[in-house]
Structure 1
Amino acid sequence: MPDGIETAAGDRTRAMSAALAVTGGVSVVLAWLEFLLIRQQCAVGLWVIAVAVVAVWLVSSDAGKPAAVGLSLGAVAVVTQLAWLVTGFHALWVLCLAAAVALGFFMLASAWAGRSVGSSGRAGTRRAAAAVTAGFAAASAVVVSALVLTTAASPAPLIRSLHALGQSNSFEPGAPTATAVVDGAGRTSDVEYGSALPNSFLDIYIADNDASIRRPTYVTVHGGGWIVGDKADGAPSTDSDGASWAGPMLDAGYNVVSLNYAFAPQYRFPTQTIQLGQAMQFLEANADEYGLDMSRVVLAGTSAGGHIVGNYAIVQTNPDYARALGVEPTMDRHALKAVVFESAALDVGRAGAPKSPSPSNGFFFDIAARSYLDTTDTALLAQANVVDNATIDFPPSFISDGNTGTFPDQAAELSAKLDRVGVANRLNLYSKNEARLDHGFMAVSSQWTDDYNRLKIEFLRDVV
C-alpha cells in the first residue's frame, strides 16, 4: 500500500487526518478564547466563522465520515456566530460557543477514528501511550469546555462554588463585636447594622479614640465585583502592606465607617443600594455613641462599591428615579455632602471592557457584572447607569481612577456630565507618561496614592 494511506474508516491521507485534528483543536480553543477575551469577541468570532467554514470543507471532502453531522455543526456555528455579532443576543452567543466546541470535538474524533491501528511491538506500545495521552487531553478539554459553556450561560454556579470556598453570604459576623485601638484610632468591629440581609456588618473607626467629639462621617464601601471583598480590605493595621484608606481620613478629622453587603448573584441590584440605606439609618440612630456627625456625610466606593454609593446618591437626590427603582431614600439629601469614586464601575454594561486592556480584569469584571444584574436587559442597564441618571442635585464628587485595566473613560464621562449640569467635581486621572496605575491603585502604597489622598482631602475640605 502506498505511503501515507490509512485504511481505518475508509482511505484517508495522513495530511487529511492532521487537518481534521488541527481544525478541531483550533475550533475548541477559539471558543474558549471568545469566552475569555471579552474585548476581542468580534475578532475572535470572525476567526470562529473562518475555521468553521474550513471544517465544513474538510468534512465534505472526507467521504469516509458521517459528513452530515459535521456539516450541520459547522452551519450552526457560522449562522449563530454571525447572528450574535449582529444582534448581541446573549443566548446566541452561548449557542455559537456550544456549536464551535461540538464541531471541534467532532473533528478531533474524526481524526482519531481514521488513524492506522497497528498493535504489535514498539508500534503498539507507542500507540497505547498515545491513546492514554489523548484520552487525558480529551477529558481535560471536555471539563474545560463544560465549565466555559456553563459559565457563559450563567456565572452563578461558578460564583457559588467560589463562595463555598471562602467569602460568602452569611447572617453571622466573622467575629464577635469587639473594640480595640489601632494606629491611635478607636475601632469597633463587626457591628450588626441590619438583620434582613446577609453580611450586614460594619466597622467604625473613631479618630483619636475620642467619641466625645462629633466629626464628619466618611462611609466607605469595598470593591470586589459585587461577589467578593470585605470591609477590612486596606484597613489600618500593624501588619498591612497596603495603603490605608482610613488613616488619611482619620488624620483629616473624619470618623470612618466601612461596611459589608450581600453578594451577588444570590442578591442582585438594587439590593446593595437598599442595604447601604439600612446602614445609613443605623448610623443615624447610633450617631451619639460613636461621635458621628450625620449631617456631614461623605460616601466613598471602590470599584463595585463605587457603583453602589453612586446609585445610592442618585436615589437620595432624584425622587423620580427613586420611585422608578422602587427604593426609598433613607437620609437627608443635604446631609450627603460628597461622593468619592475610586476606580468605580459606573456603567455596569461596560464593566467587561476596561481601558488599556487587561484580559484577566475584563473577564472578571464581565463575570461580576453578569452576576450583579441581567446585562442582557438594556432597560435595567440604563437604570443602573450612574452617569446617565445623575442630575443637578447630585452631590459634589471626587472622581479618580488608574489608567491600566480599569475605567478612566467612565470616570471622565461622569465628570463631564456633572460639569454640564453644574455639580462641583474634580477628576483625578494620571497619564501613563507619569505612571502605570492599575484598577484600584489607591489600595497600594505609592507616591500616587499619597497624591490622590492629598487632592481628595483638599476637595472635601471645600465641600463638607
Structure 2
Amino acid sequence: MKINKNFIKIILISIFTTIIIVAGIAIFFQISPWPDSILIRHTFNENGRRVSEEIEPFLPSEIGSLYDLEYIENDKDALLDVHFPDSISTTGQMLPTIVWIHGGAWVSGSKEIVANYCKMLAGKGFTVVAIDYSVAPEYTYPTPVIQGNKALDYLNKNCADLHIDPCSIIIAGDSGGAQIAAQLANIISEPSYAAKFDIKAAVKREQLLAVLLFGGAYDLNDMKLADLESSDNGFLRTVLWAYTGSKNFNDDPELISASVSDYVTDTFPPAFISVGNGNPLASQSYIFARKLAGLNVKVDTLFFSNNYKPLLSHEYQFDYKTADGKMAFGKSVAFLSSIVKNHRD
C-alpha cells in the first residue's frame, strides 16, 4: 500500500504543532499566575453566584437599594451598592452601617455575589454597603486597600444621602475581603500602620464601632512559610503570586504589611471572628482572635471543634439554608446589635 507523502507530512506537522502548543501552555503556567488565577476566578464566581441564589427565598420583602455608585472617579472597578430598609427610603434617617468587602482570594468575587447576604443584614436594621475593588492579577497589592479607604471617604462625605450614620461604621469581609477589612480597620486604628501606605485614614477611630470577619488570612508570613507544594498551598502560591505580582513573593518586602496580625494594638475595634472547621486556613482566625484577646480587644468568636459535623467549608456562613449558616448570621447580628446599643448608651 502506497502512503501519500503529503499526508505523512501533514500528520507530522500536526503532531509537531500540538507539541509546541502544549509546551507553550505549560511554560505559560510556569511563568505567569494568569492561567490558574482565571480558572480560580471562574470557579469561585460560579460557586458564589449559586450560593447567592440559594439565599433568595430568605430575603426580606422590603429593601431599598442604590446601585453602582462611583466612589473613585473614572475607575470602572470602584463601584458600590447601598442596601437599607425600604421604610427609610424617603426619609433622612441614618442607620448603623456595615461596609462589606467581598472575598474571592484577591482574584475574584464581586459586590453582586454578596448582595443578597447584604440585603439580609439590611433587613435587621442596618444600612449595608457592598464595595467592588480591583482584583489580581490585573491589579496588585495594596490597590484594594487604597480603594477601600477611598470608599470609606466617599461614604463619610455622602452619608446624609445614603442613610449612613457616620458615627456607627462597621467594616466586614469574607475570605480575602476579611483580610482587607482587617487592614482597613487597623489603618483607622493605628496611625503608624496607615503611614506604611502613605495614606490618611478616611474615618476617625471613634467612628468605627466594630469589625465582622469570616475566614480571613491575617498572617501572610505564616502562609508563605508553608509547604507550597501541597495541593492547598499550590492554590495559595497562585493567589499570592497574583496579588503581589511577584513569583518570589516570599521575598517581597511590601507584602510584610499585609500581615495585619503583626501590627494590631489595643486600639483595634471590637471583633466578631468566625471560620469553618473545614477551612484550610482556619488556624489564621484562631490565632488572630487570640492575639486580639491578648491585647484586651473585645472579641466574640464562632469556631467549631475539629470533630464537629458536618465539616464546615470556606464561606460556610453564606449557606443560609443550613443550621450553621443561620447560626452564624444570628450571632453576627446579635454581636453588632450589642455593640450599637452600647455605643448609643
Counterpart residue number, 1:366: 237
Rounded to whole Å, the distance in 1 between the matches of 2:67 and 2:84 is: 11
Shift in CA distance, 326/184, structure 1 to aligned 2, threshold 3 Å:
same
Of 383, 400, 404, 2:278 maps to 404
Rounded to whole Å, the distance in 2 between the matches of 1:441 and 1:140 is: 42
Residues 245-301 of structure 1: per-residue CA shift (max 9 Å, x gap): 430x22321111101001222322111111111111111121111211011011111
Shift in CA distance, 345/394, structure 1 to aligned 2, threshold 3 Å:
same
**Percent pairwise identity:** 25
Q: CA offset at residue 341 of structure 1?
A: 0.9
Shift in CA distance, 454/195, structure 1 to aligned 2, threshold 3 Å:
same
Of 249, 261, 281, 2:153 maps to 281
Q: CA offset at residue 153 of structure 1?
A: 2.8
Counterpart residue number, 2:194: 322
Rounded to whole Å, the distance in 1 between the matches of 2:304 and 2:76 is: 37
Counterpart residue number, 2:76: 198
Tell me, what secondary structure is at the counterpart of 1:202? strand
Q: CA offset at residue 198 of structure 1?
A: 3.4
Q: CA offset at residue 325 of structure 1?
A: 2.6
Q: Which has the higher contact order (CA 8 A, sep 6+)?
A: 2
Q: CA offset at residue 304 of structure 1?
A: 1.1
1:264-413 equivalences in 2 (<5 Å): 264-349=136-221, 359=231, 362-373=233-244, 374=246, 375-413=249-287
1:434 and 2:306 aligned? no
Q: CA offset at residue 448 of structure 1?
A: 0.5
Residues 77-108 of structure 1: per-residue CA shift (max 9 Å, x gap): xxxxxxxxxxxxxxxxxxxxxxxxxxxxxxxx
1:221 and 2:101 aligned? yes
Q: CA offset at residue 403 of structure 1?
A: 2.2
User: Taking structure 2 as the reference length, what is the TM-score of the superposition?
Assistant: 0.80
Rounded to whole Å, the distance in 2 between the matches of 1:457 and 1:353 is: 36
Rounded to whole Å, the distance in 1 between the matches of 2:169 and 2:147 is: 17
Task: Confirm or deny: 8 A CA contact 1:411 1:427 kept in the other structure.
Answer: no
Tell me, what secondary structure is at the counterpart of 2:250? coil
Tell me, what secondary structure is at the counterpart of 1:376? helix
Counterpart residue number, 2:119: 246
1:459 and 2:330 aligned? no
Tell me, what secondary structure is at the counterpart of 2:199? coil
Letter of the 2:111 counterpart? K
Shift in CA distance, 396/217, structure 1 to aligned 2, threshold 3 Å:
same
Q: Highest Rg: 1 or 2? A: 1
Unaligned stretches of 5+ residues in structure 2? 46-58, 341-345
Counterpart residue number, 1:72: none
Letter of the 1:372 counterpart? Y
Residues 28-66 of structure 1: per-residue CA shift (max 9 Å, x gap): xxxxxxxxxxxxxxxxxxxxxxxxxxxxxxxxxxxxxxx
User: Taking structure 1 as the reference length, what is the TM-score of the superposition?
Assistant: 0.60
Letter of the 2:213 counterpart? F
Q: CA offset at residue 417 of structure 1?
A: 0.6
Rounded to whole Å, the distance in 2 between the matches of 1:232 and 1:427 is: 27
Rounded to whole Å, the distance in 1 between the matches of 2:74 and 2:219 is: 28
RMSD over equivalenced CA pairs, Å: 3.4
Counting matched residue pairs gives: 314
Residues 414-436 of structure 1: per-residue CA shift (max 9 Å, x gap): 10110111111122122342321
Letter of the 1:418 counterpart? L
Rounded to whole Å, the distance in 2 between the matches of 1:317 and 1:148 is: 45
Rounded to whole Å, the distance in 2 between the matches of 1:459 and 1:290 is: 24
1:44-55 equivalences in 2 (<5 Å): none
Task: Confirm or deny: 8 A CA contact 2:84 2:125 kept in the other structure.
Answer: no
Shift in CA distance, 351/406, structure 1 to aligned 2, threshold 3 Å:
same
Letter of the 1:368 counterpart? V
Rounded to whole Å, the distance in 2 between the matches of 1:308 and 1:448 is: 25
Of 259, 264, 272, 2:131 maps to 259
Counterpart residue number, 1:232: 112
Q: CA offset at residue 328 of structure 1?
A: 1.9
1:56-71 equivalences in 2 (<5 Å): none
Rounded to whole Å, the distance in 1 between the matches of 2:22 and 2:318 is: 33
1:450 and 2:326 aligned? yes
Counterpart residue number, 1:153: 31
Q: CA offset at residue 186 of structure 1?
A: 0.3
Rounded to whole Å, the distance in 1 between the matches of 2:34 and 2:259 is: 22
Shift in CA distance, 413/190, structure 1 to aligned 2, threshold 3 Å:
same
Q: CA offset at residue 154 of structure 1?
A: 2.9
Rounded to whole Å, the distance in 2 between the matches of 1:353 and 1:401 is: 21
Rounded to whole Å, the distance in 2 between the matches of 1:255 and 1:224 is: 23
Shift in CA distance, 320/161, structure 1 to aligned 2, threshold 3 Å:
same
Q: CA offset at residue 396 of structure 1?
A: 0.9
Q: CA offset at residue 194 of structure 1?
A: 1.2
Rounded to whole Å, the distance in 2 between the matches of 1:403 and 1:140 is: 44
Counterpart residue number, 2:52: none
Deviates more, 1:344-353 or 1:399-408: 344-353
Deviates more, 1:332-341 or 1:380-389: 380-389
Q: CA offset at residue 223 of structure 1?
A: 1.0
Tell me, what secondary structure is at the counterpart of 1:227? coil
